[in-house]
């Protein structure tokens, strides 16, 4: 059995997980990264100017500044075809349409990401702590994780459609 060294990072991860109903499992044993943790290394880096050239203004606002789009604003909310949802910043496949469900919240929602596609980060900037979801490859802000999702995970990845691109499966 592997034991974890008790650190401030692990303690905060456990604390944040108590508000997310187990979202700490997203990052394996280390759980949810606290906001003050050293930045996670990403494979893709661009300056703000570089990101602005690659993204629409709304994509930049969401992916690079952590904004939230208005509910019911994304055409991906009603996307029903089979395929993959990719990061609009770097093209990394993040979620399968098989994990998508209608949460009634106004944002595209999924009960699980593709393996190794996302990272979770504690968001303590608001009165009630929650967990942000970021693209593992470019660090783009995708949305948040809540513990009111369906089985088998009980999680709801509530995502901004502006952070995603849909790629239809081959017929």
Known catalytic residues are 158
Give the CA distances from residue 141 to residues 1, 6, 133, 152, in Å, rounded to whole numbers and listed in that order: 34, 28, 6, 24
Q: Is the peptide bond before 152 cis (omega within 30 degrees of 0)?
A: yes
Q: Is the peptide bond before 10 cis (omega within 30 degrees of 0)?
A: no
Residue (of 11, 45, 15, 25) closest to 115 by Cα position = 25
Q: How far apart are CA 158 and CA 85, in angstroms?
A: 13
- Tell me the two tokens of residue 169: 């499966």
């Amino acid at each position: 059995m592997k034991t974890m060294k008790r650190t401030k990072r692990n303690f905060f991860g456990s604390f944040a997980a108590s508000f997310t109903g187990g979202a700490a499992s997203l990052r394996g044993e280390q759980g949810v990264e606290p906001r003050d943790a050293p930045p996670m290394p990403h494979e893709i880096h661009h300056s703000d100017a570089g990101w602005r050239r690659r993204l629409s203004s709304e994509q930049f606002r969401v992916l690079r500044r952590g904004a939230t789009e208005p509910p019911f604003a994304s055409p991906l909310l009603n996307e029903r075809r089979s395929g993959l949802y990719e990061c609009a910043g770097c093209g990394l496949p993040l979620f399968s349409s098989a994990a998508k469900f209608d949460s009634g919240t106004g944002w595209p929602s999924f009960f699980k990401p593709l393996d190794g596609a996302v990272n979770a980060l504690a968001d303590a900037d608001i009165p009630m702590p929650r967990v942000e979801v970021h693209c593992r490859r470019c660090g783009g802000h995708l949305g948040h994780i809540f513990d009111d999702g369906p089985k088998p995970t009980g999680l709801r990845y509530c995502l901004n459609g502006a952070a995603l691109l849909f790629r239809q499966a081959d017929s």
